[in-house]
A = this chain, B = another copy of it.
Amino acid sequence: MLNEQLKAELIDRRRDLHRHPEQGFLEMRTASIVASELIRLGFEIRTGTDVMKPDAVMGKPSDEETAAHFEWAKANGADPRTVDRFKEGYTGIVADLKTGRPGSLTVFRVDMDALPITESDSDDHVPRRENFRSLNEGSMHACGHDAHTTIGLGLARLLSENAGLLSGTVRLIFQPAEEGTRGARSMAEAGVVDGADFFIATHVGTGVPHGTFLAASNGFLATSKIDVTFRGIASHAGAKPEEGCNALLAAATAAVHLHAIPRHSGGSSRVNVGELHAGSGRNVIADRAEMKIETRGQNADVNAFMKAQAERIIRGAADMYGVDVEFRTVGEAVDCQCSEGLARTLAEVAADSAFVETVVLEDNASAGSEDATYFMERVIQNGGEATYCIAGTDLAAGHHNERFDINEETMFAAVDVLFRAALRLNGDAG
């Protein structure tokens, strides 16, 4: 089914997306291309706030950034037929292929956003050498979401072409803002996986070698991403030190003590203050400080503990220095365990794929976080099954590295396996 022409198209698609990376809630060009293609293929699509609950959106760029990027998208190849749908930055898409025949609701989810990384300009970096390096300087597809989006569209193509073999409904979710775990919750809370029998999220790479397909990647940590702003009172450090309220010291204090949050007997935990920026001059008591922090937990309870402690520590540190503080949750994900049955099914169909050499049922090694877990948790709570699968690939450099690159043939494996899964799960087309 995956013929040479489609292969070539996948590669072209991925390179076009790679050349036009867009960060979370700014995937306007990407979403317009996806939406138009899905309409062309006969999917019923819903977009924007129809599939995203606005007050569950986290870490959305400012209106100014959103408006500016919209201009960029229009000037850089956005599909004019659909791009206006995404003007406000609600860039999620849900697309249904309804067969009209009774059967399961199976949901496939991919993500679309890029990272705030300046792509390598080195000669040995393939995208540079083969001329598809990022044109959106400062943004880069350094995590493979360009491939994910391409896989989603490749799957859509095969589903559309083989709709007659299917029953029930096959749904595709193109999610914005997975980086920073910002986008999924708003879509899950909008109900886009409610009623799903099966849910499959897909990623490439993450250390799984090329030719290997992992049916169930477990071990994602629940996480919260938090931005903190301290506001104090400036004063001349020589003349009137007693008149300042030192935001820099409040932040420094919070940073140290956040790392001293107790370990938890209920599972592993993490905390990091990744960035701290404070002060505007050597001889001025700093009146402003910003921190970017994250907490993680082996399960939601542990993460909730970490987050509650973090807030207490931050407020206490601010009070110590007479400083005001704002605490904003800008990303969040839960933990989730893959459903065994669905994982086994996926492993079976993967074993049939010519693009897969090795199938692994389950791996628990993940130490990262993923907001696909919101979808998975909701599906499982409602009685469905969910899994998170990995199509292995060769990496030129690790995820989030400026020289990240993949083996593009991984996309063929992913499309093939996911399509086989759809046939199995929705294939009893009378």
Q: A residues engaging B (CB < 8 A)?
A: 180, 221, 223, 225, 236-242, 244, 246, 248-249, 251-253, 255-257, 259-260, 262-266, 268-286, 289, 292-294, 296, 305, 312-313, 315-322, 367-369, 400
Contacts and interface: CB of A to CB of B under 8 A. Distances in A.
Contact of A240 (B241, B252, B265): B265
Nearest to A292: B282
Contacts of A285: 262, 272, 274
Contact of A253 (B256, B283, B286): B256
B275 A278 contact: yes
Contacts of A319: 312, 315-316, 319
A243 to B, nearest CB: 8
**Secondary structure of the A contact surface, majority rule:** mixed
Given A260-B260, A263-B241, A313-B320, A281 B286 contact: no
Contacts of A400: 281
Given A239-B265, A275-B280, A316-B316, 9 more contacts: A238-B272, A241-B272, A242-B266, A252-B256, A253-B257, A268-B268, A276-B278, A312-B319, A320-B320
18 contacts: A236-B368, A240-B265, A240-B367, A241-B270, A242-B305, A246-B259, A252-B252, A252-B256, A259-B260, A260-B260, A273-B286, A276-B277, A279-B292, A281-B292, A283-B294, A312-B319, A313-B320, A316-B321
A391 to B, nearest CB: 20
Nearest to A266: B242
A368 B278 CA distance: 23
A426 B237 CA distance: 40
Nearest to A290: B277
Given A238-B368, A286-B275, A319-B312, A260 B265 contact: no
A306 to B, nearest CB: 9
Nearest to A330: B282
B221 A238 contact: yes
Nearest to A302: B242
Nearest to A241: B262
Given A256-B253, A273-B279, A238 B312 contact: no
Contacts of A252: 251-253, 255-256, 273, 276
B263 A270 contact: yes
**Best-buried of A225, A248, A282, A313 by chain B (most CB within 10 Å):** A282
Contacts of A275: 248, 278-282, 286
Nearest to A207: B239
